[in-house]
């Protein structure tokens, strides 16, 4: 996945180089925070799905054990 690159002359646009760097750093920090939050949400969703699957497996195994014990009685 490539990123488009374009040279932009912020200084010529009336924005100081220092302010531009601060703004870009702020944007980067915000993106990092968003990425972290999304990673946590994905982790939570995977864990929840895994737990639901395990519960269903447990129910199925109990049902099979119950059927097997009734067949032996």
Domain boundaries defined on the chain: 14-72
Task: Give tens-digit pLDDT for 38-68.
Answer: 999 999 999 999 999 999 999 999 988 888 8
Q: Compare 18 and 72 and report the one with higher pLDDT.
A: 18
pLDDT tens track for 15-33: 688 888 999 999 999 999 9
Q: Is the pLDDT of residue 9 over 70?
A: no
Q: Which two tokens stand for residue 63?
A: 């049902």
52 is written with which tokens? 């639901």
* Contact in structure between 10 and 20 (CB atoms under 8 Å): yes
Give the tokens for residue 30.
């915000």
Task: Please give the Cα distance from 17 to 24 (Å, whole number).
Answer: 10
Q: What whole-number distance in Å separates Cα of residue 30 and Cα of residue 24? A: 10
Q: How far is it, in rounded angstroms, from Cα 40 to Cα 48? A: 12
| Whole-prediction pTM | 0.55
């Amino acid at each position: 996945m490539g990123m488009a690159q374009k040279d932009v002359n912020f200084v010529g646009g009336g924005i100081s180089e220092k302010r531009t760097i601060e703004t870009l750093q702020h944007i980067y920090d915000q993106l990092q925070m968003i990425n972290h939050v999304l990673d946590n949400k994905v982790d939570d969703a995977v864990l929840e799905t895994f737990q639901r699957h395990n519960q269903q497996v447990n129910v199925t195994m109990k049902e099979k054990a119950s059927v097997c014990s009734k067949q032996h009685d």
